[in-house]
Amino acid sequence: MKKKITIIGAGPGGLAAAMLLLSKGYAVNIYEKECSVGGRTGRFLLGDYIFDIGSTFLMLPQYIERIFRLAGKNIHDYVEITPLDPLYRLKFEDGTEFYPSMDLEKTISEIKRVFPDQVENYLRFQHDEQYRFNRIERCFKIPYNNLYDFLRPSFIEALPQMNISGSLRGRLEKYFTNENMRLA
């Protein structure tokens, strides 16, 4: 008889965990409070418009590809991943439009065009976020099979970077004085 696992939440983490557990032969049930799966990668409909809730998860496809590989699958057998440039379009109340890109130089050019007084702040933000990401990313690659795994030096060193008690908004306010730039 297969061991049964229950997962609460059908966001990216819950779905990834279910996929990996299924590949190991477990019976998995997922419970989600919303009417659709996806969590922060879901979408919001407003009239004829569709808004991605948190598409940033999809900006690092190598992690999704790795989860599929670990489950013995190839993501490209299921979906086509198409890079977008620009990543998205923001239109502010004053009519200003902003088009960020995965290409750092293009994004900097956009910031110079729309938020010229925020360029240095953006460069500092990017530098600091890259440092945070590099510390935290190491934790993504470690299996956590028991509580002692959370005591590994790499995990302990990454804790201050995880901003556990803070919010993204609070972090953005430390860098950007322009409200639209915080939203971008």
Q: What is the pLDDT of residues 21-59, one digit of tens each?
A: 999 999 999 999 988 887 777 777 888 887 777 666 677
What average pLDDT score do residues 153-163 get?
A: 82
Across-strand partners of 4? 27
Count of residues for the chain? 184
Task: Give the pLDDT confidence of 85-103 residue by residue, as tens digits.
Answer: 998 889 999 999 999 998 9
- Could you give the CA distance from residue 148 to residue 91 in angstroms, rounded to a whole number? 47
Q: What does the pLDDT read at residue 138? A: 82
Task: Report the interhelical angle of 168-175 vs 119-140 (nearest 10°).
Answer: 140
Mean pLDDT across the chain:
88
Across-strand partners of 27? 4
* 83 band by pLDDT with thresholds 50, 70 and 90: confident
Q: What does the pLDDT read at residue 54? A: 66
Q: What does the pLDDT read at residue 55? A: 63
Q: What does the pLDDT read at residue 26? A: 97
Domains of the chain, residue spans: 88-184
Q: Say if residue 113's pLDDT is above 70.
A: yes
Listed in sequence order, the DSSP H helices in the chain are: 12-23, 61-70, 104-114, 119-140, 153-158, 168-175, 179-183
What is each CA distance from 28 to 111, 131, 143, 167, in whole angstroms? 46, 36, 20, 32
- Model pTM? 0.71
Kindly state the DSSP code that residue 3 receives in the 8-state scheme: P
